[in-house]
Amino acid sequence: MGVKAYFENIHQVILQQVKSANQEINVAVAWFTDRQLFDALCERAMKGVKVSVALIDDEINCGANRLNFAKLQNLKGTVTFLESKNTPECIINFALLIKMW
């Protein structure tokens, strides 16, 4: 698999890849606030895809306006809160790495 950089429509590219995942999705980001991507992860978890998310334990991810991470956990997804994370990434089906700087 070669490297491909995206500079436009990044949200749509990530959403498309998440929606087409059929084995496993591992996400590590500082903050996760995108409801559309979160819903896509939940949909994949409902289809039996193994979904894991690692986030910073802070007000954005854990405060009153956070996403409902319990929903993903109820769908057998894994949500881990960490002290810090410097570089966000997403691994889909053991092969596709989406890295954001």
Domains of the chain, CATH where assigned: 10-93 (3.30.870.10)
Q: Pick from 58, 24, 23, 18: which is nearest to 38 by CA?
A: 18
Q: With pLDDT > 70 as the criterion, what percentage of the chain qualifies?
A: 81
pLDDT at residue 60, rounded to an integer? 93
Distance CA 41, CA 19 (A): 8
pLDDT at residue 97, rounded to an integer? 61
Cα angle at 81 between 79 and 63, to 5 degrees?
100
Strands (E), 1-101: 24-28, 50-56, 78-82, 89-92, 96-99
pLDDT at residue 59, rounded to an integer? 93
- Please count the CA atoms within 13 angstroms of the CA of 38 that sit on its side-chain side: 18
Its pTM stands at 0.84
Higher per-residue pLDDT: 83 or 32: 32
Whether the predicted pLDDT of 36 surpasses 90: yes
